[in-house]
Chains A and B, each alone.
Chain A
């Protein structure tokens, strides 16, 4: 019984560690998305437009850049599976 208890505790700790790694991955990705957004908005091409037109800050027009983390994503973040891995039997939603 003690052995089983220890085994369960070990498994729980491993799950916790894995979960934290996964959270770190998520934070890294969020960082990357925000970094991309910053770089896109502050790209010299954008700043040069502002400089030339001397108009209020224009909305970024870089349609070719894929949209980043939306408010929707952060507000209603889905339950994410363990270790970024998604098995059919445990689909993300």
Chain B
């Protein structure tokens, strides 16, 4: 006996200690709760709740047939598959049956009265999007393993997801937990809350109008962006086709793409104001200049440019109001390749804006060495380059805000007066990245362009369909032919239609861009007719929302979150 005791305490001490620790102590992961995503007024766009996930213990199941039959009478589970998994792994201690059950399904499972030890629930987080399909492309979604895909869920994944903790526990011989070893456990770092610049009401209205547009014109795709031009805050952004992030398994394959940042198109006439602004800024043009337009046909090198209507000459203002290609080509000649290329770069084309969204692309601006005489005629009317809708509205924001190019963003600045999340004081929020800006044209030039030519576009030019009584709107239409891969040239029947507008013209507060990719329904496919009415309706709504958008952020008490954290 003494010898045996010495043997156990001496030579086998280490191995037995290890064995006891292994049998009695175990570690479980304590998942971090993903942070919420809120709009600027505290409406929840994404949040996390728990659901119960059902598992079975094959090693304890004596009658697999009965268990499978009972479970399948309640849950939509493939009975054959479940039976096979049970019978093929009879020694296993754990297999998932179905994860994240609804409360009702979990209650039904409990009522089955399955034998003890053969089954159990584990609680898992489930991401929910209370606004349904609205803002889906901006939010993205979170998969079953809590990884973000698309939108803010992906770009801010590290911050929203948090960091899982661990809990080390000791159990007795019957497997019952008798102690949590706090010293060896690690508290989970829950995800941070994101306060976005979105205004949900503007978002909902924008998407509804976009849906009406899609229903009317049957395009391949469409997108809308609403922006506050002075700060670059995105108030709404939507893309079609869309999806419901609450139903990830039903997302169409073509709906994942956020056209606002990942589609490129030739901007057409919406590009013209930038060329004019740059030409005036650098002394190549004066606002009161008169441009000869050669009665609608102008030979430029090896090609002849045409206008929709014949003009002998036009003022600079009317070149934009009437959207004269010849007038723009003449201005392009004054700038030359060098000036045009600089203008393109200065307004941010060819480089990503840096918005907090994945999948943003640079657009297509060829190297200056590849530009030639042909480019001098094409670039001023928005051809030979491709831009993303976000790049385009960002450049127009520079005209609307007095000539400053600001970085568009989706995170509300935490130092802003609008962010006073007192009830959320216990919740850590994601800090917004600093806004960079640069003065690219003189404020007087930008103001003149907005208050005269671009306002004239809506009052008496190609954007008349966007007029709203009592609202001083400025804007610019754009209609560009799509490249036809079959002919290698431009298609006569496929167009990109766009319209960018803002209000009030005297002090722009909101900008709206609507871009429509290849409308197929019958009708004239001009930017003014296809995109104009939708843009002006959204703009009208957004202007009415201005007091709620620019005012101090308030969060109702029911939007409070508990301040305590694990």
State the A residues within 8 Å of B (CB). Answer: 11, 14, 18, 21, 24-25, 28-29, 31-33, 35-36, 38-40, 43-45, 48, 62, 64-70, 72-73, 76, 78, 82-93
Find residues 51-104 in chain B having any chain A CB closer than 8 Å to their own CB: 51, 57, 60, 93-94, 100, 102-104
CB pair B60 A66 closer than 8 Å: no
A92→B169 contact, CB < 8 A = no
A sample of 6 inter-chain contacts (CB < 8 A) reads A39-B43, A48-B204, A66-B126, A82-B177, A83-B177, A85-B177
Please state if A69 and B103 are interface contacts (CB–CB under 8 Å). yes
- In the complex, are the beta carbons of B130 and A43 less than 8 A apart? yes
Q: For the complex, what is the distance from the CA of A13 to the CA of B564, rounded to whole Å? A: 22
B564-A88 in contact (CB<8A): no
Given contacts A65-B130, A65-B246, 9 further A-B contacts (CB under 8 A): A24-B564, A32-B50, A39-B130, A43-B131, A65-B128, A83-B177, A88-B120, A91-B116, A91-B119
| A44 lies within 8 A of B562 (CB) | no
> Assuming the A-B contacts A32-B47, A86-B121, A91-B119, are A45 and B104 also in contact, with contact meaning beta carbons closer than 8 angstroms in the complex?
no
How many CB-defined contacts (below 8 Å) exist between A and B? 133
Using known A-B contacts A67-B102, A70-B104, determine if residue A40 contacts B130 with beta carbons closer than 8 Å: yes
- Give per-residue flags for B453-475: 1 if the beta carbon is below 8 A from chain A beta carbons, else 0: 00000000000000000000000
Q: In the complex, what residues of A have CB within 8 A of residue B180's CB?
A: 14, 18, 83
* Cβ–Cβ contact A11 & B103, under 8 A: no
Chain B residues in the interface with A (C-beta under 8 A): 28, 43-44, 47-51, 57, 60, 93-94, 100, 102-104, 107, 110, 113, 116-123, 126, 128-134, 167, 169, 171, 174-180, 200-201, 204-205, 208, 244, 246-247, 558-559, 561-562, 564, 566
B103 near A72 with CB under 8 A, answer yes
Main secondary structure of the interface of A (DSSP, over half): helix
Please measure, in the bound complex, the distance between the C-alpha atom of A50 and the C-alpha atom of B459, giving whole angstroms: 35
Q: Which residue of A lies closest to B175 (CB)?
A: A89
Contacts of B204 in A (CB 8 A): 44-45, 48
Check A86 against B122 for contact (C-beta < 8 Å).
Answer: yes
- Do the beta carbons of B44 and A39 come within 8 Å of each other? yes
In angstroms, how far is the closest chain B Cβ from the Cβ of A6? 15
**Is B126 a contact of A11 with CB atoms below 8 Å?**
no
List, in ascending order, chain B residues with CB within 8 A of A18's CB: 180
B49 touches A33 (CB 8 A): yes
Tell me the complex Cα distance, A78–B176, Å: 18
Q: Which of A43, A48, A64, A68 contacts B103 (CB 8 A)?
A: A68
Distance of A18 Cα from B246 Cα, bound (Å)? 34
Question: Which B residues touch A92, using CB under 8 A?
Answer: 110, 120-121
- Report the minimum CB–CB distance from A93 to chain B (whole Å): 5
Question: Quick check: B246 and A28 within 8 Å, CB to CB?
Answer: no
Contacts of A82 in B (CB 8 A): 177
The reply to whether A88 and B102 contact each other, CB–CB distance below 8 Å, is no
How far is A32 from B128 in the complex, measured between Cα atoms in Å? 11
A46 CB → nearest B CB, Å: 9
The answer on a CB contact under 8 Å between B120 and A70 is no
- The answer to whether A89 and B102 have CB atoms under 8 Å apart is no
Q: Which residues of A have CB within 8 Å of B117?
A: 88-89, 91
A72 touches B104 (CB 8 A): yes
The residues of B that contact A76 with a CB separation of less than 8 Å are 107
Min CB–CB distance B352 → chain A (angstroms) = 31
Residues of A within 8 A of B50 (CB): 29, 32
Measured between alpha carbons, how far is A40 from B338 in the docked complex, in Å?
54
The 7 A-B residue pairs whose C-beta atoms are closest, nearest first, are: A64-B246, A39-B130, A88-B57, A39-B44, A86-B120, A89-B175, A91-B120
Flag if A88 contacts B118 (CB, 8 Å). yes
- Do B177 and A62 touch across chains, with their CB atoms under 8 A apart? no
What distance in Å separates the Cβ of B208 from its nearest Cβ neighbour in chain A? 8
B175 close to A32 (CB less than 8 A): no
Q: Which residues of A contact B247 (CB under 8 A)?
A: 64
Nearest A-chain residue to B41, judged by Cβ: A44
Cβ-defined partner of A28 (8 Å) among B94, B134, B562:
B562
Q: Which chain A residue shows the least CB distance to B49?
A: A32
How far apart are B21's CB and chain A's nearest CB, in angstroms? 18
Please indicate the chain B residues that have their CB under 8 angstroms from the CB of A66 in the complex: 49, 51, 100, 102, 126, 128, 246
Contacts A32-B50, A43-B130, A83-B177 known; A91 to B103 CB distance under 8 Å? no
CB-CB < 8 A to A84: which residues of B?
123
Taking CB atoms, residues of chain A closer than 8 Å to B562 are: 28, 31
Q: Once the chains bind, are A88 and B44 in contact (CB under 8 Å)?
A: no
Q: Which residue of B lies closest to A70 (CB)?
A: B103
